Structure 1
Amino acid sequence: MIRMSGKFRSSLIIGGQGIRARKLRTVLSMMSLFLGVLAVIAVQAGGQVAEKAMLADIELQQGIDGTETLSLPSHEKTSSVVRETLGGQPGVSVYGGAKATLGEPNVTPLNPGGNSLTGRYGSYSGGSGRYTTVCDASGMCTSKPVEEKQPPKGAAVEVRVTSMLGDLRQFRPFRLVSGEWLDFGSAPSMSPQIVLNTGAAEALKKHQIPAELHIEGAAKNATPRVVGVVDDGQGDYSATAYMRADELQNWMPAEAKKPASGPAASPMAAMYGNSSSGSLTTAYFTPGPTTEILKQTLRARLAAAGADVDGMRSTTVNSKGRMASMLSIMKMIFLGMACLVLLIGVAGILNVGLATVGERVEEFALRRAVGTSRMLLTFIVLAETLLTGLLTAMAAIGAGVLGFQVATVMFSSKLPAIADMSFPWDAGVAGVIAGLAAGLLGGLIPAMRAARIPISTVMRA
């Protein structure tokens, strides 16, 4: 067991007695230091909250840091090869896209293009008409309206369907708002399960939409089962539905057709095709020893099937690394401001310490006369200021924890990422260090002055 030496123990005891004997001055010192320590705690905690909040929406749309993504080529056998190679593999998820209309058949949906129904993003939906993408020989694509007579508007919502082979939430952790997520363990059903994002769910809440799902390219309409609602980071910008790929394929042609060749098709479209065709376009992998083997096997089988594998690109999600420099600059700026506030507290401790030493000149001289060393006198004064800094840090941490809980309750609806976040105790450690550092800086000069008091002072007293 490690014990403090007699000198250190004596200095702490005498320092504690000095704090108890001068309660008002201790409280004044703590008040001047409190805001500085609280500012340091707020900067540290705020930096972690900001990092998590910024990463949350990025993770919902791009994936968790470290996730490996692989772009898949457009080919008539791509989806079948992917299902045979990656189906049932742990740590793998593949997704694609399709267009669908939920509600009355043969009508113009309330949100052509699958965009927002709130009006906030209404200018992107193309009004009541349909738009198509036209690309020139250089690969430049533009959106143009389709010149055709549109059916009347009806009780229908256009959704952008994301079909999945394997659970996508292991890479993009969508927040479950209500209901449940898709069940990938059961057999595929002819009545497909769908999970809506908040934008699509809001549309169904405001309008009476029949339970009929028309998937673009399908000959018949399906009767879906809406099993849940998730926050996928898109907010009200897009109406999106999530489905199992095997249940989607029950209602789709077996494979997507290749894009038309010629000047109207861009090089990118020729390689990857239309993301709304229902075919699988992107694969997510958890890093591990089998990942490269799966990638090589998939590449070889696609090449054998005749797909152009030269355009298959593998990337690793590194959102935190890209944001690290920006977050560091922000934290350094606010930490500098917090240190300025902390220096005000240091000045307050220094002021009170010098006044206290001036009042205790006879006491310190008498201690010197009975054999107290200059070093021990220095420790006695420093012990008082360090204990004051530590008490202030404890009070500031308590205020920080309470403030964090209040802020979580107030802002959790606007920032769901912090709803389940607990107080970052790294910020508490930073507060303790700041309090002790302020006590040391504020007490160093008074301690040195106390150590230089001559023994002869006691004779004049």
Structure 2
Amino acid sequence: MIRNVGHARDDMISHPIRNMLAIFSVFIGVLSVVAIITVAGVTKEVFLAASEQRYGRLTTMHTQLDGPLPVVEQIVRSVKAARIAAPGAAVVITATTSESTGFSPTTNGPHYAPFIFVDTTFVAGDLTQVKRLPILHGRWISQEHTIPVEIVINEAAQGLLGVVGGTPVLSFGSGSPPVATLTVGVVADGESTPKIYVSLPAVLTIREQISPSLSASLVVHHPTATRTMFEELTTRTVGLLGMTHDPQGLNRLDQVDDLLLQLKSQQQGFLIAAVVALFVSGLGILNIGLSSVRERSHEFVVRRALGARRSDLTWQVLLHSLGIGVIASALAVTTVIVGVHLWVPNLIAQNSAIIPPGVPWEAVLWGLVAASATTLLGALAPAVVASRLNMADALRA
């Protein structure tokens, strides 16, 4: 076997152009496989990020709350108690109103600048644990009912209300005194229109009622909970709030499962493309191998005349092809690692919810296996031909 390895090594050195073409063929095949799988993963992450940013992570449920909002301490205690009762869960109360809620960017002097009416969501709990909401600056709203009222703005609202540390004032309509706020963070929520998230407990500390038209919802996230667990957690939390809800109204908010199902056919298409790339690479190895055997028939016959067995010639051709596969795989893996670390992150905006992909080691492993299998299968026919050369015919040729 050691002698066969030596002959395979000599073959690599003695035919550099032919071997470079073979290596390039396998390199393209392996790189195609790893690149296709990587692109499939990136595409999946792009759609998944947009879905989780807008609707919630897997799995998120929500239900409409009925009845007046309880006192601040009860809201804070209910959110904390729900998280403790179900480790890994994230419980958030959101509230919106049909009445106009305005913000004034300045607080200097006795008069305020004209109010800007912005889409406003009142929040109790950490919404970033439910949705994929990258914090671009600062932090999320405090879980306590701190004063002044803390707000988080999205990127579209940043141009209207300044940056982190700004102190705009909140108006609940005509006749009500403005409420001082503090901008503590800027979040990427995927919305193109200005939007503001306001601390619900902090507002209720100042005002007993935000608006008669307030609509409140309970949002619950847990990555592994069953429907029954969600129902129990929701019932417990609603009971602690002293409110009511329709048990039949507990619905799935996230769309991750539906999205993954839609992407399944796309991934199958990527897989077919990878198989085709490998098949073309295998044909290249087969063609080069058969041409090499025809050109080197005298060499193989001489080896047979000197005592080499048929199996020795078979192993020589197979090891030669395996060496080509190893070199091509190493080059392809190096290219993928460099691309993933240096090129792909530059394609993703810094304010995106998309998580930059790491090196797809599973894809790399499959690429290595595919390269080895492709080169060996492509070399199998040439190896058999080389081992069965007729000595008399080869010498007459």
Q: Partners of 1:79 and 1:395 in 2: how far apart? A: 64
From the superposition, tell whether residues 306 and 174 of structure 1 become closer, same or farther in structure 2 (CA, over 3 Å). closer
Q: Deviations over 1:294-348 (max 9, x none)?
A: 333345567xx684535431437451x3223332322332343344344333333
Q: Partners of 2:151 and 2:270 in 1: how far apart? A: 45
Partner of 1:70: 62
5+ residue gaps in structure 2?
Answer: 84-88, 107-112
How far 1:392 moved relative to its partner?
1.2
Q: TM-score, normalised by structure 1?
A: 0.72
Q: Partners of 2:175 and 2:296 in 1: how far apart? A: 92
Q: Deviations over 1:99-143 (max 9, x none)?
A: 5211179xxxxxxxxxxxxxxxxxxxxxxxxxxxxxxxxxxxxxx
How far 1:255 moved relative to its partner?
6.9
How far 1:435 moved relative to its partner?
1.9
Q: Partners of 1:337 and 1:415 in 2: how far apart? A: 32
Q: Is residue 360 of structure 1 aligned with residue 296 of structure 2?
A: yes
Contact in 1 for aligned 2:40/2:270 (Cα 8 Å): no
Contact in 1 for aligned 2:188/2:351 (Cα 8 Å): no
From the superposition, tell whether residues 340 and 70 of structure 1 become closer, same or farther in structure 2 (CA, over 3 Å). closer
5+ residue gaps in structure 1?
Answer: 1-6, 106-153, 258-273
Contact in 1 for aligned 2:76/2:201 (Cα 8 Å): no
Contact in 2 for aligned 1:193/1:243 (Cα 8 Å): yes
Partner of 1:437: 373
How far 1:216 moved relative to its partner?
4.9
How far 1:438 moved relative to its partner?
2.5
Partner of 1:119: none
Contact in 1 for aligned 2:58/2:221 (Cα 8 Å): no
How far 1:217 moved relative to its partner?
8.7
From the superposition, tell whether residues 243 and 85 of structure 1 become closer, same or farther in structure 2 (CA, over 3 Å). same
Q: Is residue 100 of structure 1 aligned with residue 57 of structure 2?
A: no
From the superposition, tell whether residues 250 and 301 of structure 1 become closer, same or farther in structure 2 (CA, over 3 Å). closer
Q: TM-score, normalised by structure 2?
A: 0.82
How far 1:54 moved relative to its partner?
0.8
Partner of 1:246: 201
Amino acid at match of 2:51: I
Q: Deviations over 1:394-420 (max 9, x none)?
A: 212222233334433432228824464
From the superposition, tell whether residues 170 and 362 of structure 1 become closer, same or farther in structure 2 (CA, over 3 Å). same
Partner of 2:180: 223
Contact in 2 for aligned 1:36/1:339 (Cα 8 Å): no
Partner of 2:236: 297
Partner of 1:179: 138
Within 5 Å, which residues of 2 pair with 1:30-45?
30-45=23-38
How far 1:53 moved relative to its partner?
1.1
Q: Deviations over 1:42-61 (max 9, x none)?
A: 11000111111111121112
Partner of 2:352: 416
Q: Secondary structure at the match of 2:118?
A: strand
Q: Partners of 2:284 and 2:392 in 1: how far apart? A: 30
Amino acid at match of 2:289: G
Query: How many positions carry a matched residue from both structures?
Result: 377
Amino acid at match of 2:94: G
Q: Partners of 2:63 and 2:55 in 1: how far apart? A: 13
Q: Deviations over 1:345-391 (max 9, x none)?
A: 33332222122212322332233344433233222212211221221
Contact in 2 for aligned 1:365/1:453 (Cα 8 Å): yes
How far 1:221 moved relative to its partner?
1.0
Partner of 1:115: none
From the superposition, tell whether residues 222 and 255 of structure 1 become closer, same or farther in structure 2 (CA, over 3 Å). closer
From the superposition, tell whether residues 221 and 369 of structure 1 become closer, same or farther in structure 2 (CA, over 3 Å). same
Q: Partners of 2:217 and 2:194 in 1: how far apart? A: 20
Q: Partners of 2:80 and 2:174 in 1: how far apart? A: 24
Q: Partners of 2:238 and 2:137 in 1: how far apart? A: 39
Partner of 1:116: none
Q: Is residue 168 of structure 1 aligned with residue 105 of structure 2?
A: no
Amino acid at match of 1:382: L
Q: Secondary structure at the match of 2:179?
A: coil
Q: Secondary structure at the match of 2:268?
A: helix
Within 5 Å, which residues of 2 pair with 1:38-53?
38-53=31-46
